Structure formats: C-alpha cells, structure tokens
Amino acid sequence: MPYDVEKPDEQWRTELTPGEYVVLRQAGTEPAFTGEYTDTKTQGVYSCRACGAELFTSETKFESHCGWPSFFDPRDTDAVELIEDRTHGMVRTEVRCARCGSHLGHVFAGEGYPTPTDQRYCINSIALRLTPAEG
C-alpha cells in the first residue's frame, strides 16, 4: 500500500535513532516497562515519531499494567492501519501508522479491560511523541 510519507531506507536510518528505527521500520518491540510514556498521565496528543501524524489522545489512554502505553481507541479510525501478524508463532493484529507505514505495536480485543471498545492498543513509547495539551 502506498503511504503519504515514503522515504528511502537510508533516509529513515538518518532521521531516526537506532532504537526508533528498529521499532518503527523493522517492527521491533521496546522492552516492557522501559518506555517514557508507559506511566505518564500528561494530557495531550500522541503522534507518530516518524512522520508526526496524530494517532492517539490522552483521553483514550488507560492503565493496563502490561508494560507499554495502552489506548482503547485511535484518535481517528483512519490514523492507523491494522494488519494480520503471524510472526513468533502467534496470530496478532499489528498497528501501523496509516500515513507512513511505521510499526507502532499491536491491538488486542476481548481481554476484559473496562474500556468502551474492549480493545487494548499496546503501543511502543518509542514510536510516539506526546504533545502536551495547552492550558
């Protein structure tokens, strides 16, 4: 699928830190409980660290105690792309930025969290950038 933001791999490597590159462009995962947004309660908008697209808001962030930031819904349904992921002997749903195709994490459903959507978007902190709300 073509994305609005497409760059050669060499450009992604120079624009992203090595850790960002592994997660965003190679579908890696940061270690649990190490990301800067895992426990943050700051109000604001979470954007894709690779392209700046607005993905999630603090209003949909919740504490799942899974080790990564969790959201129950994207800011806009068109902001993310969901793709079946059969790696590591599992069937999961990968979450990518719909604007640049960067890997963000995975979404899970039916886990019993008390959220309006019964979904948990388990997103790598290193894939996001938080812009605090004004005021």
Mean pLDDT of residues grouped by 10 in the chain (135 residues)?
A: 91 97 97 96 97 97 96 94 89 95 96 94 98 88
pLDDT at 75: 93
Give residue 74's pLDDT. Answer: 96
100 is annotated as an active-site residue: no
Q: How far apart are CA 101 and CA 4, in angstroms?
A: 9
Q: Which of 48, 51, 97, 122 is catalytic?
A: 122
Query: Which domains, ranges and CATH numbers included, belong to the chain?
Result: 9-132 (2.170.150.20)
**Cα-Cα-Cα-Cα dihedral sign, residues 63, 71, 107, 127:** negative
Residue 87 pLDDT:
84
Q: Is the pTM of this model over 0.75?
A: yes
Q: Which of 113, 103, 16, 116 is nearest to 65 (CA)?
A: 113
